[in-house]
Amino acid sequence: MKICVMTLGCKVNKYESDALVKRLEEKGYQTTDNLEQADIYVINTCAVTAEAEKKSRQMIARCRKFNPNARVLICGCASQKNQMQFKEKGVEVVTGVAGKTKLIDIIEQGNVDISELPLQYEDDMLAKQSRIRAYIKIQDGCNNFCSYCIIPYLRGRSRSRSLESIMAEASALGEDIKEIVLTGINVTDYKIDGKPGLLTLLQNLDTLGKRIRLSSLEETLVSEEFAKGLSELQNFCPHFHLSLQSGCDSVLKSMNRKYTTKEFYNSVQLLRKYFPLAAITTDVIVGFPGESDEEFEATRRFIEKVGFASLHIFKYSHRDGTVASRMTDLPDGVKSQRSDILESVKAKLFDEFIKKNKTGKVLIEEFDGQHYVGYTENYIKCYIQSDKDLVNQIVDVEIGERFKDGVKARLDRPKKVC
């Protein structure tokens, strides 16, 4: 029997899907994550925006084009939010966020109710890892309750995986895997025995000799001790994805974010004190309810002041059940116009960031037919030509000119000693 597991949304969803795939293969099922002919389709859904939820529903029809008689099983955030939107489409099994690996046990049982969200970390998932980079989930849930975000209601309260469990998974990774990426709904809130534990975790992982990368970080964790501690690690990749959301204090307050622009900027400067060439990237929401032209302009100016390496730009999406859903939404045209403005800023900032980088160490992930492609420690995508097979090697390069969504790079030749 062939089972297709389709994933929408974040890296946490992908990790959980890969854990499901691992379990299925251990039980003898044939699996794929490509949308193709299969007997059963498992759709791991997303609800972070209205568009993501819509795509989750549309995936049912896309799967049935390949096999109209296939069974379709639904799990994830969108079904946690509203299971009826999927049951009405005739799917056989609908579960939510909790107990995704239990889908294997209920594959023959028909409809299933949404499980209650756990209070403790569900440590029953080990993902099937790729050859080069391993994603390791360290945390789930969120306590922040930002006014625009539905995720805390769907994922539950923050809960952390034990240090011992994380280290056991990381230590078991093969030599082929050169990089570990830590992921979670709110990685910043990772705790050991109830106390902030992210730096301790990173210090332990550093002993394994693999590159370590954080998927995201909140400004509130950045301190002198934290930044200095990171700088003392041998294998840490200096790419900090700090979620900003708005560069205007009044909007941040309305969003229920826990910092001011001054505090955010000070955190950026602290990181750059220890990592001068760090890539600092961010998320920005445009068109938040009530955001005036002046408030948006303050955000644009602040983004340029910080000098981010890149931006993820999102148009505000109404989510029923959030505080912001009771506020007056802005027209789509306003959101699109502001998004276009920030896209231009993003392109300019990326060019400026590239010019600061002369060399780097690139982990080669693939060969696209013409170039070997991979990322530097500070997440610059590099395209390299070589007669040698470089896949899954870390190579020294000289950074060149802009190319596609990254740069061209040349292998750094050892200098001759006279």
SS (H, E, C) 238-265: CEEEECCECCCHHHHHHHCCCCCHHHHH
pLDDT tens profile 258-285: 999 999 999 999 999 999 999 999 999 9
* Contact call for residues 180 and 205 (beta carbons, < 8 A): yes
The total of other beta-carbon atoms located within 10 Å of residue 387's CB is 5
112-116, 167-171, 262-266, range with the lowest pLDDT: 112-116
User: Whats the size of the chain, residue-wise?
Assistant: 418
| 112 vs 207, higher pLDDT | 207
| 162 vs 417, higher pLDDT | 162
Question: Which pLDDT belongs to residue 124?
Answer: 66
Spatial separation of the C-alpha atoms in residues 414 and 208, rounded to whole Å: 27
Spatial separation of the C-alpha atoms in residues 220 and 223, rounded to whole Å: 8
Concatenating the DSSP letter of every residue in 277-301 gives T-EEEEEEEES-TT--HHHHHHHHH
Tokens 């010019």 — which residue? Answer: 355
102 falls in which pLDDT band (50, 70, 90)?
Answer: confident
Question: Which pLDDT belongs to residue 118?
Answer: 66
Tokens 């109830």 — which residue? Answer: 194
* Contact call for residues 86 and 60 (beta carbons, < 8 A): yes
Spatial separation of the C-alpha atoms in residues 330 and 288, rounded to whole Å: 7
Asked whether residue 416 carries a pLDDT value surpassing 70, the answer given is no
What average pLDDT does this structure show over 193-218?
Answer: 96
Task: Name 315's Cβ contacts closer than 8 Å, sequence gap at least 6.
Answer: 285, 286, 287, 332, 335, 336, 339
Spatial separation of the C-alpha atoms in residues 196 and 217, rounded to whole Å: 13
Question: Which pLDDT belongs to residue 9?
Answer: 92
Mean pLDDT of the chain: 92
What average pLDDT does this structure show over 349-371?
Answer: 95
Question: What is this structure's pTM?
Answer: 0.89
What average pLDDT does this structure show over 214-224?
Answer: 94
Q: What b-and-e string marks burial along 114-144, b requiring 16 or more CB atoms within 10 Å of the CB?
A: beebeeebbeebbbbbeebbbbbbbbbbbeb
Question: Which pLDDT belongs to residue 417?
Answer: 45
What average pLDDT does this structure show over 53-74?
Answer: 93
Question: Which pLDDT belongs to residue 415?
Answer: 52
Asked whether residue 169 carries a pLDDT value surpassing 60, the answer given is yes
Phi, psi of 27 (to 5 degrees): -90, 0
Asked whether residue 389 carries a pLDDT value surpassing 60, the answer given is yes
What average pLDDT does this structure show over 232-239?
Answer: 98
11-25, 159-173, 251-265, 388-402, range with the lowest pLDDT: 11-25
Question: Which pLDDT belongs to residue 121?
Answer: 74
Distance from the first to the final alpha carbon of the chain: 65
Q: In the sheet where 93-94 sits, what is the strand order?
A: 30-32, 2-7, 40-45, 71-76, 93-94
pLDDT tens profile 362-383: 999 999 999 999 999 999 999 9
Between the alpha carbon of residue 183 and those of residues 18, 269, 366, the distances in Å are 13, 24, 22
Phi, psi of 384 (to 5 degrees): -130, 135
Asked whether residue 405 carries a pLDDT value surpassing 60, the answer given is yes
Spatial separation of the C-alpha atoms in residues 252 and 263, rounded to whole Å: 12
Query: Radius of gyration of the chain from Cα atoms?
Result: 22
Would you report the helix, strand and coil content of the chain in percent, each value rounded to 5?
35, 25, 40
Q: Cα 217 to chain center, whole Å?
A: 11
Question: Which pLDDT belongs to residue 418?
Answer: 44
Amino acid at residue number 264:
F
